[in-house]
Amino acid sequence: MIEYAVRQSQNEVNVDKVLNYELDGNGNLIYHYFDTKIYNDMLTSLISNSQTYIQLLEEGSLPEELETIPQESHDSVNEIGLLYSIPLGQATGNSLLANLGPKIPIQLTAIADINIHINEEIKSLGINNTFLRLAIDFEVNAQIIIPFTTISDPVKTTIPIGFAFFPGEVPQFYSGNSNGVMPSLPLPIEEQLEEETAQPSDSNN
């Protein structure tokens, strides 16, 4: 259900425009930032679509795009607000009685608001390379109602929506975060010539 809400929001909002970045003349990353308007539009669309799907789920009327979800015919019911039916023995919590007794209906109800936010994960890859991942964190508190008991079960999931890779310039020396002795690097030829030219004048003074 959440995946379908994300797909619907991606069709409504251009996710590719969420992340903007600036490169220098050599193609190196200078900075990156989020487009606030598109970011907020994305969150608004996700919350609206998720609440719509949850409401339809509570009413027992799945939209066409969700009807492809496989369901066992003997466990599905057609009454409004009732999603599945389970053996009465399973409601007791005893594994020995799980498959015994007549089938009873269960109902799903959302008991709290949907918590959604976009998280940014930055990783350093190789030598001076940066990998950026954008993902959406969902948390929905669902309440499952069956005879004799009610179960509250928070549903959490993370769905990636975009990736970006920024290759950086390879430095002349890479220590690999070690604490060893820094090697002495030879000066460029131009600097060596300048030092050799300056030495006689210094000695005459």
**Helix or strand or coil: residue 115?**
strand
- 29 vs 18, residue with greater confidence: 18
10 Å CB burial of residue 38 (0-12, 13-18, 19+) is middle
> What residue spans define the domains of the chain?
2-169
Q: How far is CA 197 from CA 91, 185, 202, in A?
A: 92, 20, 10
Q: pTM above 0.75?
A: no
pLDDT, tens digit (0-9, with 9 covering 90-100), for 97-151: 667 777 777 666 666 567 887 788 888 877 777 788 888 888 877 776 666 666 6
